[in-house]
Amino acid sequence: RSLLVLHQVVKVLSSKRLSGDRRMFQDLSAHIYPTVYSVWDAHCQLFFLKVQENVDDATKTLENALLSLKTLEKLTVHGFKRPNESRHVNLFLKLVFERAKAMLSIWPSLKSLTEELAKKFIIRLTNVLLSL
């Protein structure tokens, strides 16, 4: 639930167009980006572990990873003047490729609901790259 609230707040703040609002959002992004990145990475790792161990409740973990990915996308695209100058953004972008490759490799073993979420996850990963 807290991920959803954070995502909604970031979504609203990222849509602001006034220069003062943009500067405030860029400052906020620099402060919360490492935390959101860590949450996303933890959910991704947990999802892959659950799939590897054939645990049934991997769907909720993937939902949380997808929600934190959406938040990271907004922060990356709208929260930095020069995203390539941020160490955490560079780590995130490098990991985007690895996560997409890993998701595609486990694709055949996923169940229907998880498969649909995985498809959304892969699409969102590619959207991050296209948005930059």
What pLDDT digit, counting tens, does each position of 71-106 carry?
A: 999 999 999 999 889 999 999 999 999 999 999 999
Cα distance between residue 132 and residue 125, in whole Å: 12
Query: Which of 111, 124, 105, 34 lies closest to 75, judged by CA?
Result: 34
Most confident of 65-69, 83-87, 104-108, 116-120: 65-69
What range does the domain containing 48 cover? 2-131
Instruction: Compute and round to an integer the Cα radius of gyration of the chain.
Output: 15
Per-residue confidence (pLDDT) for residue 34, from 0 to 100: 97
pLDDT at position 14: 93
Q: Using CA of residue 37, residue 91, residue 107, residue 45, what is the dihedral sign?
A: negative
C-alpha 14/C-alpha 11 separation (Å) is 5
Total structural domains within the chain = 1
pTM for the model: 0.91
Region 98-122: mean pLDDT is 91
Q: Return the higher-pLDDT residue of 13 and 111.
A: 13
Per-residue confidence (pLDDT) for residue 68, from 0 to 100: 98
